[in-house]
Structure 1
């Protein structure tokens, strides 16, 4: 599985959506069930999937599909 496929699988699983709906517009402002609990679930799943540990600031800023890619990339994950 590629890095992008793994990333998409985490989003798909946490938000219970098909991978086809994921885009740069997928964010906390456009997704009804994106709340603080879901965000923490997403962060935890990303940390597990990529064996990384996000800083608190990155956890707070992880509010969209696009920004999430940038944040995960900071920890050496190459898309």
Structure 2
């Protein structure tokens, strides 16, 4: 799951190989703005077959938070 999520971040935010995804936080990079957030949410939902609630989207502010959300999601 961890590697799949890492790949989602890299693709959704168009990250280079040099970006430390594991420690990435919202707005650490220009690509993770409000538009990037929505792209990331859609990509996570598609990859793991889950739907995030509004409060979960708001709480999605780091890679580590994404890991926790996916682990908690039913059906992930």
Determine if the TM-score, normalized by the shorter chain, exceeds 0.5.
yes
Aligned alpha-carbon RMSD (Å): 1.6
- Give the match for residue 30 of structure 1: 28
SS of corresponding position for 2:5: helix
Instruction: Give runs of ≥4 in structure 1 deviating > 2 Å.
Output: 18-21
Pairs within 5 Å for 1:3-18: 3-18=1-16
Aligned mates of 1:52, 1:10 — CA distance in 2: 14
For structure 1, list consecutive stretches of 5 or more residues without a partner in the other structure: none
Number of aligned residue pairs = 74
Q: Return the TM-score normalized by structure 2.
A: 0.84
The C-alpha deviation readout for 1:15-65, integer Å capped at 9, x for no partner, is 1114552122x0114222211111011001000000001111001111111
| Gap regions ≥5 residues in structure 2 | none
